C-alpha cells in the first residue's frame, strides 16, 4: 500500500541497489529477518528516506548488540504512535545495510488521523506534564528496582550431576531450566529498561521543541545552544562521577597518600595495595561509598558490549583522579562554576524575555520556559539510569551467559557470544540445556564455533565499508518533530549529503556549532574510549562521538570535534558546561584530521580548519 | 535665546531648538558614552539669520509652486545661492568663533560640521542623507562658512521632495547644526540594534569599512558585516567583503579624499573581533538608555594612549521595524498544549 507520495525532488540511491561490502558476503544471516530490506516490503521501503543513525549507532553492529536499537524501535515508537499519540509522527523504522543501522521516520500521513490524535495527545501528555515531578520520582524507583532485580539474577552453572539443593529444597526445577529462565529474564529486563527510557522522553522533547520553535520565531538569529542554556540545570547526574573524583583527589591529598595514588602501576593493583594500607583506610572507605552507582559509568554511550565502564577498567577515572591531584597541588580550583551557570541561565532568560515586543509574547515565553525546565531533569538524567547504571550491570550479567556457553563447549571465548544475535543465543541455550538433560550429543558445539569464526571475517570486511549517509527519495519537507532534535537531521545536513551544501575549502570541515568560542591547538584523534588516556593537556579532542563519562577529558582538552551529534548531543552539552568550543556532526572529522595536526575550531560557526604545518 | 549650546544640554524638550542629531548626541553624552567633543548651533541662530537678511520671504516666494521635481531643483538652486551671498550677523560669528576655539588645537581643531534638522522627528522619518555634512573643517572662518552651507542644505532638491512627501512646509522648518571634533577614523560605519532584514530584536547588525564612514553611508563600498547577539554579545556571523576604496584626510590637499585600496588589503577585516564586540556593547547600552532600537554611526579613531577607540557620531531611532506593530507570535489565550501540537506539526523543508 502506498500513501500519498510527497513531492520528491532529490533521491539518494535505493536501498535495494546497495552492493554487499566486498568480502562480507553472507552478512545478512547475522541479523534477524525484520532488519532486512525485503521484496515483500519493497514498495513501502523504496518510498522512504533512510539515513544512517550516526548519532546512536555509528559502528558496524555486533549481532548481539542489535538488542539496544531493537529495544528503542519498540519503545520510542509505541510512545509516539500508540500511547501519547504525537499528532504528526509515528515511530522510527530500522533496517540494516552492510552491518550499519538505517532509520526512517514514519509519518502520520492523513490529516484526519492527525486531528484524531490531537485530542488524545492533549489529554495524555497533559496528564504527565501536570504530574511530572511525581512521575519522575516513581520512574527512578522503578529503575532502581529493575537494576536490583538484574543484579540478583543468578546464571547457574551446569554440572554433570545437578546440585543437592534441587532435592533438599524440593525445587522441582533444574539448574538447566533456571539457566533458560534466566536468559529469558535478562532479555526481558533490557526491554523493560528501554520501555522506561522512553516513558517520558518523547513528550519531554515535545516540551523542549515547543520552546525552541517559539524562540526561533521571536529571534530568528538566535543560536540553538543559547535556547538550551536557558533551560539547562547545573546539577546533571553526568557530572556527579567527575565531581566525586575531584573530592577523592582532595581527600587523597588531605590524607597524605597522593603519591601512593600516583605511582605508575595498574590502578587495580594500586587499589589492592591501598586496601591493606592503614593510611588509606578512610580513602578506601570513601571510594567504596561512591562506587555504587557513580563508577557504573560507561566510557561510551552504553549501547554496545564494548562500551566498558569505570568499574570494568579504572584507567579513565584513575587518569582523571591523578590529574586532579596534580592540579589541586598546583593550587587550581576544580569546582565547577555551578552558580555562574545558574546566573547565566537567569540572565539569558530575562534578557531575551525583555527583548520580546509585547506582554502577550512574554507570557507565552514564560509558560514555554517553565514547561521546558520542568522536563529538563528527565531529559538530562535518564541516560545515567538506563545507559550507564543499568547497562553497566547488564553487559556484565550478559557475559556470565557467555561463560556458560564456553563451559558448554559452544564457544571459545565469552566475548564470542556477541557475534550471535539474541535469538541465536536463546536457541543455543535451548540446545545446550536439552542435550545436558538428555545426555545426547549437541550439534551446537560445532555449529556456533564455526559460525563465529566466519562472522569475525565478515565483520572485518564490513568495517572497511563506508556507509552512505542516506538512502531513498528526499521529500520536499519532513513533518517529524524529533528528527531534528535527536538526530540533527536538518535541511542543511541533507543538502550537504546531497552535495548541494555550501562548498567549504580543502582544509575545512563544516559541522554544527555546538558550543561557542574559538580555539587552536594540536589535534588528538581518539577513535575509542580505551584511548582516552593518551590525551594530553591543551589538545583538541577529535572523536567519532563522545559519551558523558568522557567528562574528565573535557577538563584537559581546549576544544572538541565530533563526527556525529546535534545540539543536544553529549559532546555539545558537556562542552558548554566546561566552556569549551565544540563542533559536532562534522561527518568526516576523524578521517580527515590526524593526531598532531594543528587545527582551529570555531564553535560559533561550526567550521574546523586544518592549519598549514609550520616549520 | 542662545545661538550656541553645549551638546550635553541638548535635551529632547529642546527639539525645536537644536534638531534631531544634536538631541541624539546630547542623550549619548549624558550617558557618558564616547562622543567627540563639540557644540550645537541652535535653530534660533538660523531663524534670526533668515529674518534679518530677509531670506525668509525670499524662500517662501521661491517655494511657491515648486511642486514638480524640476521646479524643486530650480528653487533649490536659487535659494542656496541666496544663502551663499548673505553675510552672517557679527554677534553670531563671535559666539561661534568663541565656542569653536574652545575645542583646542590653537583655534585650528579639525571638525565635522553636520546638519541637525528639526524635521526628522516631525516626520518620524530618518531624513538620512537629505542634508549636508562637511568633514575636516579647520579654522573659525571655514567653520562659519560651513554652518551657512548646512543651513542652506535644508533646501537641497532631495530634501524639498522629502518635505513634500511627508506634508511638511519647508519654509516653516529650521536647521540646527552640530560642530564636533573630527575623528580620524581608521574604520567607521553604522550599526542597527536589530536585524534590519528579519526584525530580530536579539541581534545587533554592524557594517563597517576602512577610513571615514562616508563610504559606508554613501553606499560606495560593500562593507564588512557582523551580526552580534545582543544578549551574549557573541558574534553570530560575519561577512568580509573586498573594500576597494576608503575616504581619508589628505594632508597635502588639506581635504578629505577618496583613496583606492591596494588589492591585497581589500579583504582585510576592518575590525578585530574585540572591536566588533566593543561597538555592539555600546549599541546595546544606547538602546537600553534610549528605550528603543537605534540606528547609530560609529568610528574607530585614535584614543588617548594610541589605542583604537570607538566613538559614537550619531544615533537616531530605528524607523522601519519600530513603527510596525508587532502582533503576538502566539496568543496566550491558547493553551500551551495547543501550541505544543502546532509546533510539532510545522514541517521541516528539505530542499
| Beta pairing, strands B235-239 & B224-229 | antiparallel
With both helix axes pointing from N to C terminus, report the angle between B43-52 and B90-101 in degrees, rounded to the nearest 10: 150
Residue B349 pLDDT greater than 70, yes or no = no
pLDDT for A2 equals 39
Would you call A209 and B329 a contact, using CB atoms and an 8 Å cutoff? no
Question: Which residues neighbour B90 within 8 Å (Cβ) at sequence distance 6 or greater?
Answer: none
Q: How far is A369 from chain B (nearest CA, A)?
A: 11
Nearest residue in B to A605, CA atom:
B237
E strands, A225-380, are: none
CB proximity under 8 Å: B 126-155 to A: none
The full DSSP string for A544-593 is S---GGGHHHHTT-SEEEESS--TTSHHHHHHHHHT--EEE--SSHHHH-
Q: Helices A267-274 and A281-294 meet at what angle, rounded to 10?
A: 130
The C-alpha cell 520553535 sits at A213
Q: Chain B contacts of A87, Cβ < 8 Å?
A: 341, 344-345
* Contacts B232 to A, Cβ<8 Å: 226, 348, 516
- Alpha carbons B159 and B80: distance in angstroms, whole number: 13
C-alpha span between B109 and B86 (Å, rounded): 25
Report which DSSP code applies to A384.
I
Among the partner-chain residues A88, A218, A476, the one whose CB lies closest to the CB of B344 is: A88
Asked whether the beta carbons of A521 and A558 are under 8 A apart, the reply is yes
Q: What are the backbone dihedrals phi and psi of residue B148, each rounded to the nearest 5 degrees, phi first?
A: -60, -40
In the block, which residue shows the cell 538631541? B23
Q: Identify whether the C-beta of residue A154 lies closer than 8 Å to the C-beta of residue A182.
A: yes
Q: What is the DSSP letter of A239?
A: G
CB contact under 8 A, B234 and A495: no
Domains for chain B: give ranges and CATH numbers: 4-181 (3.30.1490.20), 187-317 (3.30.470.20)
What are the chain B neighbours of A348 within 8 Å (beta carbons)?
Answer: 231-232
Percent of chain A with pLDDT over 70: 91
How close, in Å, is residue B335 to chain A by CA atoms? 9
- The distance of A614 to chain B (nearest Cα, Å) reads 22
Residue A125's closest chain B neighbor by CA?
B337
The vertex-A35 CA angle with A30 and A37, nearest 5°, equals: 110
Cβ count near B68 (within 10 Å) = 10
Are the beta carbons of A60 and A100 closer than 8 angstroms?
Answer: yes
Query: 3-state class of A458 per DSSP?
Result: helix
Residue of B332, B284, B263 lying closest to A214 (CA atoms): B332
Which residues are registered as beta bridge partners of B41? B4, B177
* A455-490: burial string, b at 16+ Cβ within 10 Å, e else: beebbebbeebebbbbbbbbbeebbbbbbbbbbbbb
Check B231 against A352: CB less than 8 A apart: yes
Q: Are B302 and B309 in contact (CB under 8 A)?
A: yes
A161: which residues sit within 8 A by CB, 6+ positions away?
A: none
A604:B340 CB<8 A: no
Which stretches within chain B are classed as H helix?
A: 15-30, 43-52, 55-63, 69-85, 90-101, 119-122, 140-152, 157-165, 214-217, 273-290, 336-344
**Separation CA B179–CA B41 (nearest Å):** 8
Q: Which of A221, A358, A483 sits opposite B326 (nearest CB)?
A: A358
> Would you call B348 and A223 a contact, using CB atoms and an 8 Å cutoff?
no
Residue for grid cell 539457566: A179
Cα separation of B300 and B211, whole Å? 9
Closest-CA distance, B20 to chain A, in angstroms, reads 25
- Asked if A532 and A299 count as a contact pair (C-beta separation under 8 A), the reply is yes
All three cell numbers of B240, joined, read: 568580509
- Could you give the CA distance from residue B106 to residue B102 in angstroms, rounded to a whole number? 9
Residue among A239, A237, A232 nearest A345 (CA): A232
The whole-number pLDDT of residue A187 equals: 98
CA B102 to CA B118: how far, in whole Å?
26
Cβ neighbours of A600 in B, within 8 Å: none
Instruction: Decide the pairing of beta strands B4-6 and A559-562.
Output: unpaired
Cβ–Cβ < 8 Å for A449, A411:
yes
Helix (H, G, I), strand (E, B) or coil at B242: coil
Secondary structure class of A481 (helix, strand, coil):
helix
Which of B200, B329, B351 is closest, CB to CB, to A221? B200
Q: What angle do CA A315, A321, A323 make, to 5 degrees?
A: 100
Using CA atoms, how far apart are residues B349 and A483, in angstroms rounded to an integer? 13
pLDDT in tens, A11-59: 889 999 999 999 999 999 999 999 999 999 999 999 999 988 877 888 8
Q: How far apart (Å, rounded) are the C-alpha atoms in residues B16 and B214?
A: 27
- Residues A254-291, buried b or exposed e (16+ Cβ, 10 A)? ebebbebbbeeeebeebbeebeeeeebeebeebbeebe
Task: Select, from the ranges A144-148, A355-359, B140-144, B312-316, the one with the highest average predicted confidence (pLDDT).
Answer: A144-148
Query: What integer pLDDT is reported at residue B293 of this predicted model?
Result: 92
- φ, ψ for residue B324, nearest 5 deg: -70, 135
Out of A149-163, B160-174, B293-307, least confident range: B160-174
pLDDT at B201: 93
pLDDT exceeds cutoff 70 at B35: yes
ipTM exceeds 0.85: no
Q: What is the DSSP string of B306-323?
A: S-EEEEEEEEEE--STTT
Chain B partners within 8 Å of A360 (Cβ): 328, 331-332
Main-chain phi, psi angles of A471, to 5 degrees = -135, 150
* Contacts with B65 (C-beta within 8 Å, 6 or more apart), sequence order: B71
The helix/strand/coil state of A400 is: helix
Q: Is the pLDDT of residue B165 over 90?
A: no
The topology (CATH level 3) of A505-610 is Glucose Oxidase; domain 1 (3.50.30)
Chain A residues with CB-CB distance to B337 below 8 A: 121-122, 125-126
Place of cell 556458560: A404
Specify whether the CB–CB gap between A477 and A572 falls below 8 A. Answer: no
Distances (CA, A) of A154 to A64, A92, A397, A420: 20, 35, 9, 22
A609 — phi, psi (to 5°)? -115, 130
User: Which residue stretches of chain A have pLDDT < 50?
Assistant: 1-4, 615
Residue A85 vs residues A80, A104, A143, B5, B17: alpha-carbon distances, Å: 5, 18, 24, 70, 67
Q: Is B126 exposed, middle or buried (0-12, 13-18, 19+ CB in 10 A)?
A: middle
Domain regions of chain A by residue span:
8-123+464-487, 237-329, 505-610
Identify the bridge partners of residue A165 per DSSP, sorted by sequence position. Answer: none
Identify all chain A residues contacting B326, using CB atoms and an 8 Å cutoff. 357-358, 361
Average of per-residue pLDDT across B154-158: 80
A514 SS3 class: strand
CA A545, CA A538: separation in Å to the nearest integer?
19
Q: How many CB atoms lie within 10 A of CB A527?
A: 10
Query: In this structure, are residues A149 and A142 in contact, taking their beta carbons and an 8 Å threshold?
Result: no
State phi, psi for B138 to the nearest 5 degrees.
-125, 135
Residue holding cell 554652518? B147
Question: Sign of the CA dihedral B215, B217, B221, B225?
Answer: positive
HSE (CB half, 13 Å, CA atoms) of A233? 16
Amino acid at each position: 500500500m502506498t500513501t500519498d507520495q510527497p513531492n520528491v525532488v532529490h533521491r539518494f540511491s535505493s536501498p535495494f541497489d546497495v552492493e554487499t561490502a566486498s568480502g562480507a558476503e553472507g552478512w545478512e544471516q547475522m541479523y534477524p529477518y525484520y532488519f532486512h530490506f525485503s521484496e515483500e516490503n519493497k514498495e513501502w521501503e523504496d518510498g522512504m528516506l533512510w539515513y544512517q543513525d550516526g548519532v546512536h549507532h555509528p559502528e558496524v553492529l555486533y549481532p548481539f548488540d542489535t538488542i539496544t536499537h531493537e529495544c528503542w524501535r519498540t519503545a520510542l515508537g509505541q510512545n509516539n504512535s500508540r500511547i501519547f499519540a504525537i499528532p504528526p509522527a509515528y515511530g522510527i523504522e530500522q533496517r540494516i545495510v552492510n552491518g550499519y543501522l538505517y532509520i526512517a521516520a514514519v509519518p502520520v500521513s492523513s490529516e484526519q488521523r492527525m486531528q484524531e490524535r490531537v485530542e488524545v495527545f492533549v489529554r495524555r501528555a497533559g496528564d504527565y506534564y501536570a504530574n511530572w515531578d511525581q512521575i519522575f520520582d516513581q520512574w527512578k524507583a522503578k529503575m532502581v528496582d529493575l537494576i536490583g532485580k538484574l543484579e540478583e539474577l543468578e546464571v547457574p552453572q551446569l554440572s554433570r550431576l545437578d546440585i543437592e539443593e534441587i532435592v533438599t529444597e524440593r525445587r522441582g526445577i533444574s539448574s538447566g531450566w533456571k539457566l533458560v529462565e534466566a536468559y529469558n529474564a535478562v532479555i526481558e529486563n533490557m526491554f523493560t529498561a528501554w520501555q522506561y527510557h522512553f516513558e517520558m522522553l518523547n513528550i519531554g522533547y515535545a516540551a523542549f521543541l515547543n520552546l525552541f520553535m517559539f524562540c526561533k520565531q521571536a529571534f530568528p538569529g538566535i543560536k540553538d545552544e543559547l535556547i538550551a542554556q536557558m533551560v539547562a540545570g547545573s546539577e546533571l547526574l553526568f557530572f556527579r562521577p567527575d565531581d566525586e573524583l575531584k573530592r577523592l583527589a582532595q581527600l587523597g591529598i588531605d590524607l597524605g597518600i597522593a603519591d601512593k595514588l600516583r605511582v605508575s602501576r595498574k590502578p587495580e593493583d594500586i587499589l589492592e595495595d591501598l586496601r591493606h594500607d592503614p593510611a588509606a583506610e578512610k580513602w578506601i572507605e570513601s571510594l567504596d561509598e561512591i562506587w555504587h552507582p557513580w563508577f557504573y559509568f560507561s566510557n561510551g554511550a552504553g549501547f554496545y558490549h564494548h562500551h566498558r565502564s569505570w568499574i570494568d577498567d579504572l584507567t579513565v577515572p584513575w587518569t582523571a583522579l591523578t590529574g586532579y591531584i596534580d592540579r589541586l597541588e598546583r593550587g587550581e580550583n576544580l569546582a565547577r562554576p555551578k552558580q555562574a551557570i545558574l546566573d547565566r541561565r537567569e540572565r539569558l532568560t530575562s534578557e531575551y524575555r525583555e527583548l520580546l515586543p509585547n506582554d502577550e509574547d512574554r507570557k507565552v515565553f514564560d509558560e514555554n520556559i517553565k514547561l521546558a525546565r520542568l522536563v529538563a531533569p528527565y531529559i538530562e538524567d535518564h541516560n545515567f539510569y538506563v545507559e550507564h547504571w543499568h547497562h553497566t550491570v547488564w553487559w556484565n550479567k550478559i557475559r556470565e551467559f557467555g561463560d556458560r556457553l564456553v563451559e558448554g563447549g559452544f564457544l571459545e571465548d565469552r566475548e564470542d557470544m556477541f557475534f550471535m544475535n539474541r535469538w541465536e543465543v536463546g536457541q543455543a541455550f535451548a540446545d545446550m540445556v536439552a542435550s545436558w538433560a538428555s545426555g545426547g550429543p549437541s550439534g551446537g558445539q560445532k555449529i556456533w564455533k564455526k559460525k563465529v569464526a566466519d562472522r569475525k571475517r565478515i565483520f572485518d570486511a564490513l568495517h572497511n565499508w563506508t556507509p552512505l549517509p542516506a538512502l531513498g527519495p528526499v521529500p520536499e519537507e519532513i513533518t517529524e518533530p524529533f528528527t531534528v532534535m535527536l538526530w540533527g537531521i536538518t535541511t542543511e545536513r541533507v543538502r550537504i549529503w546531497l552535495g548541494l551544501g555550501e562548498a567549504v575549502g580543502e582544509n575545512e570541515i563544516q559541522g554544527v556549532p555546538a558550543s561557542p568560542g574559538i580555539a587552536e591547538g594540536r589535534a588528538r584523534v581518539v577513535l575509542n574510549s580505551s584511548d582516552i588516556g593518551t590525551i594530553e593537556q591543551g589538545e583538541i579532542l577529535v572523536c567519532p562521538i563522545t559519551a558523558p563519562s568522557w567528562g574528565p577529558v573535557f577538563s584537559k582538552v581546549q576544544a572538541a570535534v565530533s563526527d556525529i551529534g546535534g545540539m543536544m548531543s553529549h559532546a555539545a552539552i558537556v562542552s558548554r558546561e566546561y566552556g569549551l568550543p565544540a563542533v559536532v556532526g562534522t561527518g568526516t572529522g576523524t578521517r580527515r584530521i590526524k593526531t598532531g595536526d594543528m587545527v582551529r575550531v570555531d564553535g560559533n560557526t561550526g567550521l574546523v580548519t586544518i592549519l598549514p604545518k609550520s616549520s | 535665546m542662545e545661538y550656541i549650546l553645549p551638546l550635553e544640554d541638548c535635551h529632547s524638550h529642546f527639539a525645536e531648538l537644536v534638531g534631531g542629531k544634536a538631541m541624539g548626541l546630547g542623550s549619548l553624552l549624558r550617558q557618558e558614552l564616547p562622543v567627540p567633543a563639540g557644540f550645537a548651533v541652535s535653530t534660533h541662530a538660523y531663524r534670526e539669520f533668515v529674518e534679518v537678511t530677509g531670506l525668509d520671504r525670499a524662500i517662501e516666494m521661491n517655494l511657491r509652486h515648486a511642486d514638480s521635481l524640476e521646479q524643486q531643483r530650480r528653487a533649490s538652486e536659487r535659494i542656496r545661492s541666496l544663502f551663499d551671498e548673505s553675510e552672517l550677523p557679527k554677534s553670531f560669528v563671535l559666539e561661534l568663533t568663541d565656542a569653536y576655539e574652545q575645542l583646542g588645537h590653537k583655534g585650528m581643531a579639525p571638525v565635522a560640521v553636520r546638519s541637525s534638522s528639526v524635521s526628522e522627528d516631525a516626520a518620524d522619518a530618518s531624513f538620512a542623507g537629505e542634508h549636508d555634512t562637511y568633514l575636516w573643517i579647520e579654522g573659525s572662518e571655514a567653520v562659519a562658512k560651513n554652518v551657512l552651507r548646512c543651513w542652506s542644505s535644508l533646501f537641497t532638491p532631495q530634501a524639498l521632495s522629502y518635505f513634500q512627501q511627508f506634508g511638511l512646509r519647508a519654509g516653516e522648518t529650521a536647521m540646527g547644526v552640530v560642530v564636533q571634533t573630527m575623528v580620524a577614523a581608521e574604520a567607521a560605519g553604522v550599526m542597527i540594534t536589530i536585524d534590519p532584514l528579519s526584525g530580530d530584536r536579539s541581534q545587533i547588525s554592524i557594517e563597517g569599512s576602512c577610513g571615514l564612514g562616508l563610504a559606508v553611508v554613501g553606499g560606495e563600498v560593500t562593507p564588512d558585516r557582523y551580526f552580534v547577539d545582543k544578549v551574549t554579545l557573541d558574534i553570530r556571523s560575519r561577512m568580509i567583503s573586498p573594500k576597494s576604496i576608503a575616504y581619508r584626510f589628505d594632508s597635502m590637499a588639506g581635504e578629505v579624499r577618496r583613496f583606492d585600496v591596494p588589492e591585497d588589503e581589500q579583504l582585510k577585516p576592518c575590525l578585530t573581533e574585540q572591536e566588533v564586540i566593543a561597538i555592539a556593547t555600546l549599541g546595546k547600552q544606547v538602546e537600553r538608555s534610549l528605550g528603543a532600537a537605534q540606528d547609530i554611526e560609529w568610528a574607530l579613531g585614535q584614543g588617548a594612549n594610541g589605542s583604537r577607540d570607538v566613538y559614537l557620531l550619531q544615533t537616531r531611532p530605528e524607523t522601519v521595524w519600530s513603527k510596525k506593530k508587532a502582533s503576538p507570535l502566539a496568543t496566550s489565550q491558547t493553551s500551551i498544549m495547543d501550541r505544543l501540537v502546532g509546533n510539532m506539526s510545522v514541517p521541516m523543508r528539505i530542499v
